[in-house]
């Protein structure tokens, strides 16, 4: 089949089913018409089954901001964000340019979802600087090709430390597909001092809501697979986890003043007056998070 035929088939697949990229965008309150009814219905239904789902996704986004800030403090100014999704509030380049504009960070976003990639290109075209920010369509598993595409942007100097972001992505990859192999490759390609920022949904067999939502993802473009803490820890290989290690997203170097973090208008929806999800650690208890450094 021609490349156009492949793209058309892939596009159809991405429109017939809810997609993890667009569901997540909806749950974050993504700007513009980036998600579709099929994604919003999924989000609304599953958000009722697992009420911490939306707050946890937002905690994940807030963690990303703190991790990007930590990377910049360590002098790392290049970011490769694999499975970046749609550019919503608190995107890597947005945080980097806000907390350290002088660093002029370079960011390459990578996703294999055509719609996510197309929207990324449009939004970056409108709001970003192409000489520092670009979006690439590539698959995590096609690691050689992905790496070549990332380097072809000319934005990443592979001899300088890079912050590799793989957040809320690996739980959409099944063990039989061996997501550890591409990650090993990416870790080996990066020089000493590079960082790996990773989040992943933790398995909890007792949590019926979590298990039900995980099963529901089987009908989306990205079936989910939850992992144990040890399995998540193994994705960092022999890299050294920075303090406080692998923990809940909300507990990874939380800021005292959370008003400086992304804030969504409906964050306190469905909660008793005066309570906030972000003041409540339960909201952080879906995704484990860690940042590790290559020795």
Ligand X SMILES: C[S@@+](CC[C@H](N)C(=O)[O-])C[C@H]1O[C@@H](n2cnc3c(N)ncnc32)[C@H](O)[C@@H]1O
Q: What is the binding site for ligand X (CB under 6 A)?
A: 20-21, 24, 60-61, 64, 82-85, 111-113, 116, 139-141, 167-169, 172, 222
* C-beta separation of 82 from 146 below 8 A: yes
Kindly give the pairing relationship between strand 106-111 and strand 78-82: parallel
Q: Smallest gap, in angstroms, from Cβ of residue 7 to ligand X?
A: 15
Closest CA to 194 of 228, 219, 157: 157
CB closer to ligand X, 169 vs 190:
169
* C-beta separation of 86 from 116 below 8 A: yes
Bridge partners for 166 per DSSP: 198
Q: Using the CB atoms, write b or e for 11-48: b if 16+ within 10 Å.
A: eeebeeebbbbbbbbbbbebeeebbbebbbebbeebbe
- Alpha-carbon torsion (28, 201, 123, 260), positive or negative: positive
Nearest-angstrom CA–CA distance, 205 and 61: 25
To 5 degrees, how large is the angle CA 190–CA 194–CA 195?
120
Cα-Cα-Cα-Cα dihedral of 15, 79, 132, 160, to 10°?
-150
CB closer to ligand X, 102 vs 119:
119
Q: Smallest gap, in angstroms, from Cβ of residue 271 to ligand X?
A: 23
CB closer to ligand X, 78 vs 167:
167
Q: Smallest gap, in angstroms, from Cβ of residue 272 to ligand X?
A: 28
Q: Smallest gap, in angstroms, from Cβ of residue 199 to ligand X?
A: 6
Q: Smallest gap, in angstroms, from Cβ of residue 88 to ligand X?
A: 8
Q: Smallest gap, in angstroms, from Cβ of residue 277 to ligand X?
A: 17
CB closer to ligand X, 44 vs 275:
44
Residue 157 φ then ψ, to 5°: -95, 105
CB closer to ligand X, 31 vs 275:
31
CB closer to ligand X, 136 vs 242:
136
Q: Smallest gap, in angstroms, from Cβ of residue 90 to ligand X?
A: 8
CB closer to ligand X, 79 vs 239:
79
* C-beta separation of 78 from 160 below 8 A: yes
């Amino acid at each position: 089949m021609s490349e156009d035929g492949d793209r058309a088939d892939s596009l159809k697949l991405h429109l017939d089913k809810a997609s993890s990229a667009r569901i997540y965008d909806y749950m974050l309150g993504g700007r513009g018409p980036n998600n579709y009814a099929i994604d919003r219905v999924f989000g609304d239904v599953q958000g009722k089954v697992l009420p911490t789902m939306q707050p946890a996704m937002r905690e994940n986004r807030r963690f990303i901001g703190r991790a990007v800030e930590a990377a910049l403090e360590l002098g790392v100014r290049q970011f490769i964000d694999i499975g970046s999704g749609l550019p919503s509030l608190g995107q890597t380049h947005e945080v980097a340019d806000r907390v350290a504009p002088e660093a002029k960070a370079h960011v390459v976003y990578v996703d294999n979802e055509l719609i996510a990639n197309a929207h990324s290109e449009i939004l970056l075209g409108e709001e970003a600087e192409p000489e520092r920010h670009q979006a690439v369509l590539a698959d995590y598993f096609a690691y050689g090709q992905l790496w070549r595409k990332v380097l072809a942007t000319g934005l990443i100097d592979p001899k300088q430390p890079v912050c590799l972001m793989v957040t809320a992505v690996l739980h959409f990859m099944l063990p039989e597909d061996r997501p550890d192999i591409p990650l090993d490759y990416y870790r080996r390609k990066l020089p000493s001092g590079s960082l790996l920022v990773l989040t992943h949904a933790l398995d909890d067999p007792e949590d019926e809501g979590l298990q039900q939502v995980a099963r529901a993802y089987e009908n989306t473009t990205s079936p989910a697979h939850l992992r144990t803490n040890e399995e998540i820890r193994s994705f960092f290989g022999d890299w050294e986890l920075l303090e406080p290690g692998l923990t809940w997203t909300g507990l990874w170097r939380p800021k005292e003043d959370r008003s400086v973090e992304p804030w969504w208008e409906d964050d306190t929806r469905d909660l008793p007056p005066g309570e906030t999800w972000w003041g409540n650690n339960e909201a952080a208890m879906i995704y484990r998070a860690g940042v590790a450094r290559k020795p």
